[in-house]
């Protein structure tokens, strides 16, 4: 489903702020894989997700989604293949627009947008209402409300829903619960799993929470200095514990895991 073939990315090359974010990242996902991504500060986790999303062109290597080489496609062209949820709840939705307008935008992801068709149809409205009701947040009664009025958790739940309205080939979750309080984070994660299972999605989830990384998904990868250094296959993941992960990290990288936000428990 996804093939990341030896990609590299250096930001600000040749300057004092030069940063080798990705050195030789290589990863291959099967259809239906739900992989969690962990790693230290600046390991390249988010950079890899953004490279897949096409936020910037990569220096080397190529990216293939569902058999299609997307390496040279711009961000908005890749969007038809991807559902994305970001760390900052502000990023995934347009605060100045209403809930239903945001959903209507997402419902047209990857499709031609005509100046001669209405932005929202009545049929869509009832569909959105049903989908929102699933969240159990009461948003189905506030569809005309501006998204800016919602809490962070509500916005992330909405963004998740939007990312899956049009079934994506790949769902990219970039620490999407990091900005939420633990209780809300748990709810959103629960919803994430539910949506992934219901739609049978392939997904990548960056997280700084080791427990979540172990609890969710069927695969786990660990990144360090722009490479994937540990890749735990589904068979092994079920029996994995936090201590094992730390051991594996120290063994392969030859150092201690350094992430000031990493939650080990």
Point out which residues bind another protein (CB under 8 A): 53, 74-77, 79-80, 82, 84, 86, 90-97, 101, 104-106, 108-111, 113-120, 162
CB atoms within 10 A of CB 244: 13
Minimum gap (Å) between residue 251 Cβ and another protein: 37
Closest CA to 209 of 225, 220, 199, 193: 220
Minimum gap (Å) between residue 26 Cβ and another protein: 25
Nearer to another protein, 23 or 90 (CB): 90
Who's near 184: CB < 8 A, 6+ residues apart? 151, 152, 153, 177
Strands 227-232 and 219-224: antiparallel
Minimum gap (Å) between residue 119 Cβ and another protein: 4
Q: How far is C-alpha 210 from the chain's CA centre? A: 16
Minimum gap (Å) between residue 55 Cβ and another protein: 8
Nearer to another protein, 116 or 254 (CB): 116
Who's near 87: CB < 8 A, 6+ residues apart? 46, 174, 175, 176, 178, 179
Nearer to another protein, 97 or 242 (CB): 97
Nearer to another protein, 77 or 251 (CB): 77
């Amino acid at each position: 489903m996804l093939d990341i073939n030896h990609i590299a990315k250096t930001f600000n090359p040749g300057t004092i702020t030069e940063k080798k974010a990705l050195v030789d990242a290589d990863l291959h996902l099967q259809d239906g894989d739900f992989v969690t991504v962990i790693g230290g500060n600046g390991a390249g986790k988010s950079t890899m997700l953004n490279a897949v999303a096409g936020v910037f062109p990569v220096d080397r290597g190529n990216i293939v989604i569902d058999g299609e080489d997307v390496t040279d496609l711009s961000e908005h062209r890749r969007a038809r293949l991807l559902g994305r949820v970001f760390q900052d709840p502000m990023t995934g939705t347009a605060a100045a627009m209403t809930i239903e307008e945001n959903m209507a935008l997402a419902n047209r992801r990857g499709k031609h947008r005509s100046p001669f068709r209405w932005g929202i149809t009545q049929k869509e409205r009832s569909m959105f209402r049903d989908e929102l009701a699933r969240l159990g947040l009461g948003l189905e009664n506030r569809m005309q409300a501006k998204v800016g009025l919602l809490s962070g958790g509500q916005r992330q739940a909405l963004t998740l829903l939007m990312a899956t309205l049009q079934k994506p080939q790949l769902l990219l979750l970039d620490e999407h619960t990091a900005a939420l309080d633990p209780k809300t984070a748990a709810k959103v994660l629960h919803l994430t799993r539910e949506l992934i299972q219901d739609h049978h999605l392939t997904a990548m989830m960056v997280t700084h929470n080791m427990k979540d990384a172990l609890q969710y998904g069927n695969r786990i990868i660990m990144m360090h200095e722009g490479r994937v250094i540990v890749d735990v296959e589904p068979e092994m993941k079920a029996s994995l514990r936090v201590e094992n992960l730390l051991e594996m990290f120290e063994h392969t990288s030859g150092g201690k895991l350094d992430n000031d936000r990493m939650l080990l428990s």
